[in-house]
Structure 1
Amino acid sequence: MVSVKIIGLLRGNIRIAFDALVMDMDGFESDRDHFGHFFLLSQGLPEIVFLSEALAVETVSFLLIKLISFDLEVRAADHSLLPVKLMSCDLRLQVRAVETVSCRDAGYMGSNRGNSLLQKCRQKALEAAMNDINSSFGKGSVTRLGSAGGALVETFPSGCLTLDFALGGGLPKGRIVEIYGPESSGKTTLALHAIAEVQKLGGNAMLVDAEHAFDPAYSKSLGVDVENLIVCQPDNGEMALEIADRMCRSGAVDLICIDSVSALTPRAEIEGEIGMQQMGLQARLMSQALRKMSGNASKAGCTLIFLNQIRYKIGVYYGNPEVTSGGIALKFFASVRLEIRPTGKIKSAKGDEEVGLKVRVRVQKSKVSRPYKQAEFEIIFGEGVSKLGCVLDCAELIEVVSKKGSWYNYGEHRLGQGREKALQYLRENPLISEEIEKMVRSSVLEAAGFGVSSSLKHQLPQLLEEDALQEMQ
């Protein structure tokens, strides 16, 4: 292996490194695999460095170089600069000097000087290509992730602390989230809690009520500001998704919830008769919409939550027969998929009335944190997610609250015997519950690590004080 440095005279001034070329040296033809990359380093007298395993340099008199794409700058007689953009060109380079150096004897290529030279040329070629792309397609079309900022995914609270813990910080901003499960499992309740959290942070939220079942009184009991909530009850699926996409592109909405995918009826199905065969209309509608909305949501920083129902396949005897409606496009476009299922009922103190549900949420897919984690919490009818229950469960999970037998203890404080007594103690002592919640949320941020942005720390409720923030930083 030898490196050959050829110095020749070339009319014009080529500033950018060659990317791909074919050489013809006095009848000696070679392809790119033999010679690799060619780089032009200096102005005036070009200097080309390349590698060759076998080359009779004594017979070289000129080089015929075919450039695929490069920028050529030509100086006119009055020394004015005439930029010329060429996509394909043959250049004949008259050789003035040939220098051959063996890699074994302090070779040019392979040595520190040679590697540094090669790296500089590649860097110049990369910068030139990026500048050319940005000038053609707009600034920021290609950029380095470190210089662009926002390399980490920002999150916001979901309204359920145990779910935030499972998600590594909360729901991601600018991404698509799917929440699916059977009927009366808490899908809408969970979405309304997310809307309430966004509104608490000063953001705008929108609900696309395709099922036409929105209950303002229940939403208000969950903490939703119904006066400022943007609500749309569309006539068909095309209208629903087009409105959601326009609101997303406005950049003024932080969260859009579509309830639900199963209720997004295509216009052709509405205009047709009941019983007509309409194959794949909803799946095609969702696929077309998601191709547009995913990019718009990312640019605007708007989170899209799709609530979905489950159906059953016919003739499945082995495996899971359940499938979500609306085709499979949503499975691919969603950054987070949450499966929610009830696991039991909560009875009153007397045991004669059902007052809530025990719910388990499984993170079936997550591009922003570790998937397949589970979160269990309680939904109280008329109140929503039991926040104190979430705090107690998370505190027990990270060992902020210890449990010996049936007794719950927090430091020197004895919370009570049994879960209900411990929750009652936290209701009666809000300062202690706030202190426990601060420690739990701090642990959520630490558990998030580099998977999500630490911007959650300035989105926490006002339970966090300055000393707690300094400790986290």
Structure 2
Amino acid sequence: MKIIDRTKAAAREIKEELKKSAKIPQSSPSKGDLNLVTSTGSTLLDLAISGNRVHGGGLPSGILIEIYGPSGRGKTAILAEIMGGIQAREGEVMFLDPEARLDKEYAHIYGVAIDKSNYKMLDTVQEVFDFIENWSPKSKDKNVSHAIGVDSLAALSTDLELSDSGDTMGMKRAKEFSQGLRKICRLIKKNNWLLPCTNQIRQGMYGETTPGGKSVEFYSSLRIRVGSPKSNKFIIKKEKMKYEDERQVDVNQVDGIRSVCKITKNIIDSPHREADIYIMFGYGIDDIRGNLQYIKDMTGKTRYNCITKEYQSMERAIDYIEENNLESELKELTINVWEQVQDVLKTKRKPKRR
């Protein structure tokens, strides 16, 4: 009976909230500012996000991004790459960590400098929204993006959930997300901030869902589902160990993972695109590896194109690119190949008659 009473009470609260929100101007998800673009760390993912809108693609400032999927597929890696990219361009970042599992060593891999001034462990949905409302970066340079990263939305609780009565139906959390995002999305659009958030998935009665209700899905300008490929999930390093008596032993270990990023919502560019990303342990997103593989696949060649040379081995190709500082040339070649593919796939039809 207590659960039924709480459910009825929560339903009444939501009904009253809907009446109030009907009087408040509703903000649509922002398309962002493409004059200030931040990379995800992957050229292919950048292109999938906004490659038809801006050369090279990337994340426009002024938007909410939801990066969701099963655990262990690279959601936090993408978030950290975004934050590292902001800091590299002299922007300010704030990392909100409800899961309390980010460490300085992990952040350092992605070029993110974490200290007490830009790291907070908050517990509830309301605490996160209150913090964002009161955040004020020191830099007022309008040519620089700032970002607040949340890892993850699924770990946030409500005051009701932390109390003895609990929030077993999750209605209070959904209501607080709806109330908070309505205000916060206008704020980040006005200030040209990025708000990338990770989220987990739940298997419900009607399929896959994400914590936080429909409001996170609605207010997000971009939703990226990070999942496992059907095959070749792991990047395995193989070497030969040589001994003094000329014995050789084959040794190998998992050195990284391959994940598939699906753009499930995109109001910046065309949705439902996919991009493979390669995440190497102790290194981060391997953009060189991803670009080499993409060019090889799209050109139908049997060797990896290293601009001035070709290699059969991926590892030797990566070494050659790095030793000769050809990362920028490889990225530009990847963009050119991607644009050629898009041109071939472009719908060529005459305008519809009205």
Please classify the TM superposition score into its range, dividing by the shorter chain length: 0.7 to 0.9
TM-score (norm 2): 0.73
**SS in structure 2 of the partner of residue 225 of structure 1:** coil
Aligned to 1:302: 193
**SS in structure 2 of the partner of residue 353 of structure 1:** strand
Amino acid at match of 1:416: Y
Aligned to 2:202: 311
Distance 1:173 1:288, change over 3 A: same
**SS in structure 2 of the partner of residue 375 of structure 1:** strand
2:301 pairs with 401, 404, 413, which one?
A: 404
Query: Which deviations, in whole Å up to 9, do the C-alpha atoms of 1:330-389 show, x marking residues without a partner?
Result: 111111000001320111214632111101101111111111111102101111101211
**Residue pair 1:221, 1:382 contacting (<8 A) in 2 also:** yes
Distance 1:206 1:269, change over 3 A: same
Aligned to 1:257: 149
Structure 1: runs of 5+ lacking an equivalent: 1-149, 450-473
Distance 1:188 1:151, change over 3 A: closer
1:372 pairs with 255, 264, 272, which one?
A: 272
2:153 and 2:324 map into 1 onto residues whose CA distance is 42
Aligned to 2:209: 323
Distance 1:447 1:226, change over 3 A: farther
Aligned to 2:310: 415
Give 1:198-237 correspondences, 5 Å limit.
Answer: 198-227=86-115, 230-237=118-125
Aligned to 2:83: 195
2:173 pairs with 273, 278, 282, which one?
A: 282
1:152 and 1:188 map into 2 onto residues whose CA distance is 24
Residue 161 of structure 1: how far off its partner (Å):
1.3
Distance 1:371 1:248, change over 3 A: farther
Q: Which has the higher contact order (CA 8 A, sep 6+)?
A: 2
Q: Does 1:162 align with 2:44?
A: yes
**SS in structure 2 of the partner of residue 210 of structure 1:** coil
1:178 pairs with 58, 66, 90, which one?
A: 66
Query: Which deviations, in whole Å up to 9, do the C-alpha atoms of 1:232-264 show, x marking residues without a partner?
Result: 111322112210222269885711111111111
Aligned to 2:24: none
Q: Does 1:348 align with 2:216?
A: no
1:262 and 1:302 map into 2 onto residues whose CA distance is 22
Bigger fraction of residues in strand: 1
1:245 and 1:218 map into 2 onto residues whose CA distance is 28
RMSD: 2.9
Aligned to 1:247: 135
Distance 1:248 1:280, change over 3 A: farther
Distance 1:279 1:390, change over 3 A: closer
Amino acid at match of 1:263: A
Q: Which has the larger radius of gyration?
A: 1
2:323 pairs with 428, 435, 438, which one?
A: 428
Identity of aligned residues (%): 26
Residue 224 of structure 1: how far off its partner (Å):
1.1
**Residue pair 1:261, 1:308 contacting (<8 A) in 2 also:** yes
Structure 1 residue ranges, 4+ long, deviating more than 6 angstroms after superposition: 248-251, 442-449
Distance 1:379 1:389, change over 3 A: same
**Residue pair 1:336, 1:365 contacting (<8 A) in 2 also:** yes
Give 1:13-24 correspondences, 5 Å limit.
Answer: none
Amino acid at match of 2:301: K
**Residue pair 1:249, 1:300 contacting (<8 A) in 2 also:** no
**SS in structure 2 of the partner of residue 355 of structure 1:** strand
1:215 and 1:387 map into 2 onto residues whose CA distance is 23
Distance 1:204 1:156, change over 3 A: same
Distance 1:272 1:228, change over 3 A: closer
Amino acid at match of 1:161: T
Aligned to 2:223: 337
**Residue pair 2:63, 2:193 contacting (<8 A) in 1 also:** yes
1:396 and 1:433 map into 2 onto residues whose CA distance is 16
Q: Does 1:384 align with 2:284?
A: yes
1:219 and 1:159 map into 2 onto residues whose CA distance is 14
Amino acid at match of 1:239: E
**Residue pair 1:363, 1:372 contacting (<8 A) in 2 also:** yes
Aligned to 2:23: none
Residue 409 of structure 1: how far off its partner (Å):
3.5
Distance 1:410 1:380, change over 3 A: closer
1:429 and 1:192 map into 2 onto residues whose CA distance is 27
TM-score (norm 1): 0.56
Distance 1:214 1:419, change over 3 A: same
Q: Does 1:358 align with 2:258?
A: yes
Distance 1:445 1:232, change over 3 A: farther
